[in-house]
Amino acid sequence: MTETIQTKVLIIGGGPGGYVAGIRCGQLGLDTVLVEGDRLGGTCLIRGCIPSKAMIHAAERFATMAAAVGKGVHGISLSAAPKLNLAETVKWKETVVDKLNSGVGALLKRAKVKVVEGWAVFSDAKTCTVKTKDGETTIKAEYVILATGSEAVALPHIPFGGPVISSTEALSLPELPKKLAVVGAGYIGLELGFAFRKFGCDVTVVEAQDRILPLYDRQLTTPVAQSLEKAGIKVMLGAKAQGYKNGKLAVEDKDGKTIEIAADNLLVTVGRKPRTAGWGLEAMGLEMSGKFVKVDDTCRTAMKNVFAIGDLVGEPMLEHKAAMQGEVVAEIIAGHKRRFNPAAIPAVCFTDPEIVTAGLTLEEAEAQKIDVSSSMFPLSANGRALSMDAGEGFIRVVARKDDKRIVGIQAVGQHISELSGEFAMAIEMAATLEDIAGIIHAHPTMSEAFFEASLRGLGHAIHI
């Protein structure tokens, strides 16, 4: 059956950028159609952020129980080691995903957004054909929002398939591999590497560069590197994966020697790329900026009334960036004056310990010729952190020297991700060190470390 739909707004992709755009369009009274080729929620909800954090949470619980066997920890002990049924853990993870997926569908329905399930292919900038289970549907729109997301990058000489997996397959393994090799020491590889190690898997990480988490400075990554060593995760730096065959990964180490690593599964986490193929990008007359679709600060493309958001338009490839862009574009289409120009987009690395960054680092500020200073407060001097065995790490504040305005905040520590909102808010609201120092932070909380770091920047920290 062939159907033709005429709509005000057409959204391609039901991930965090697309579905937020759809909901906001509906709230603003815009006739909206959203096309999704898989499940509502996109990579973050279905295959990435949410399921990975669920697995990380389960792994942490398992490791805590395992540590209590025998002599025990803090007076708590178990007489027998815990047992893992990974299939049941994955099943529980899927209940979390399913609940959120259903929630997105309900929100879109309430906003009166029509959802078309199928793969869209554009014939021109405002017309696409969707292959659905019931036949083809042609959709014509006045405005188009492209939110097609991204996909995992494979190694050219080690394609995905069988025991060679991406993060998507890693989150749905039916049983725990005895030995796991991870190629790539970025945030995805290390997050999952820690989780599998806590489940009891033998983990080796192979990284081509000379350090882990190369997007972060060494001061932030040092506690993570120490935690990797403590956990028994082997890390090979300056090493290149050569090939995988018969359960063994061939690696050229930093000295040029080839060694083999036994691995039941090979997890490749060398990056992600925008999903630009297969939906008719070439028929839309858009300009590109490298591998990304080029947009301005209103997310407009080179084609009139065509917008692009999220991973499709560049770094950072983060859910919260895409969601905010979706909201901005919906309001622009409704006639509001908006632009996407955030002062800070917080980023979180859910390793052990976690890393949070918002705004500029000291080096980035100096590169922009901003005269800044930084002040740091260690979590080892924070009562709440110590009471949770989370005393490793710190919070660092970067502020202008002239007016003490905060331009960047970085932190590393257990549970530190929960402060990312306060960090971003401080920068977005143009707070000064005096502003933060003048806010009473509840005791005992880890947020006091942010307060103390700001006090230290003013020269009078209390607890150090």
- Say whether 206 sits in a helix, a strand or coil: strand
Instruction: Give yes or no for a contact between 169 and 271, defined as CB atoms under 8 angstroms apart.
Output: no
Residue where the block lists tokens 């490791």:
63
Q: Annotated catalytic residue: which of 157, 320, 441, 443?
A: 443
Tokens of 68: 């209590």
Report the pLDDT value the prediction gives residue 134, as an integer from 0 to 100: 84
Name the residue among 44, 18, 12 with its Cα closest to residue 107.
18
- Please tell me the distance from the alpha carbon of residue 191 to that of residue 87, in angstroms, as a whole number: 20
CA end-to-end span of the chain, whole Å? 72
Question: pLDDT means per 10 residues in the chain (464 residues)?
Answer: 89 97 98 96 91 96 95 94 96 96 96 96 96 92 98 95 96 96 97 98 97 94 97 97 96 95 97 95 95 98 98 96 98 97 96 97 94 97 95 97 98 97 98 98 97 97 93
> Element (H or E) spanning 94, and its range?
helix 86-110
Report the pLDDT value the prediction gives residue 310, as an integer from 0 to 100: 97
Report the pLDDT value the prediction gives residue 2, as an integer from 0 to 100: 76
Residues counted in the chain: 464
Domains of the chain, first to last: 3-152+274-333 (3.50.50.60), 164-270 (3.50.50.60), 347-457 (3.30.390.30)
Q: Is 320 a catalytic residue?
A: no
- Please tell me the distance from the alpha carbon of residue 305 to that of residue 72, in angstroms, as a whole number: 63
**DSSP characters for 100-141?**
HHHHHHHHHHHTTPEEEESEEEEEETTEEEEEETTEEEEEEE
Indicate the DSSP class of residue 154: P
Report the pLDDT value the prediction gives residue 29, as an integer from 0 to 100: 97
Whole-angstrom CA distances from 446 to 307, 379, 384, 391, 415 are: 40, 8, 6, 10, 9
Instruction: Give yes or no for a contact between 309 and 325, defined as CB atoms under 8 angstroms apart.
Output: yes
